[in-house]
Amino acid sequence: MPHADMKLVEINKIDRSIKIDLRYQHADNIAKKPLYHPDFPALLRPSTAKRLQVANRQLKKNDLCLVIWDAYRPQEAQLALWDASGHDDRFVANPERHPSLHSHGCAVDVTLMHLDGRMAAVPTGFDNFSPRAASDHVHTDPLVCENMRLLKAAMWQAGFGTLPQEWWHFMDKDYRALPLIPTADLPAPLQQMIHLYR
């Protein structure tokens, strides 16, 4: 279903084989509390969601599929992460100066799952701020290396770019043309969910 005059769509309405596991619906993050309502959907701009569908189709040829850790992120959630990080812009975008591309609806955090439901071997967990999380880090486990090769190849081919510090973060190559989507532009039910978690 489209949201906000087609600015955002639910990812699993575009491709139901993409799994959703929004990590900020839980308390195990740097803010130490849930930042999203349990029913808050995984949203992206329609063009970005279509790119994600292309990447997922490619991965399925190798017995893998995408799992979404984060997609559209309200500015309120970004501010909570910024405060929790101690205002460290090496890992968390400053929402006042440079809003996260997640808040533009054109960035996504992903991991991998096998088509039989087993989680695939990946470098680190979510929001790991160690050198091992860098997108170009050379890992000792050949299975992790192969999974990262497949993930990057699928996402790059679909039109995404990478973030050097985070292997899980990808952004639409057209991000410069896609402006911030403020909470006030969302439908009232979504706004209410976001305001509960300020």
CATH at 12: 3.30.1380.10
CA distance 76 to 64: 33
Residue 15 confidence class, pLDDT cut points 50, 70, 90: very high
CA distance 145 to 151: 10
pLDDT at 165 over 60: yes
Active site residue 166: yes
CA distance 93 to 144: 27
CA distance 46 to 191: 20
CB contact set of 133 (below 8 Å; sequence gap of 6+): 123, 124, 165, 166, 167, 168
CA distance 110 to 75: 20
Structure confidence by residue, pLDDT tens digits, 26-62 = 998 888 899 999 999 999 999 999 999 999 999 999 9
Across the chain, what does the average pLDDT equal? Answer: 91
CA distance 145 to 30: 27
CB 108 within 8 A of CB 52: yes
Domains of the chain: total = 1
* C-alpha pair distances (Å), 116 with each of 18, 36, 49, 135, 143: 13, 28, 23, 26, 17
- Diameter over CA atoms, the chain: 48
pLDDT at 178 over 80: yes
Q: What is the pLDDT of residue 198?
A: 59
- For the segment 149-161, the average pLDDT, to the nearest whole number, is 98
Q: Which domain holds residue 69?
A: 2-195
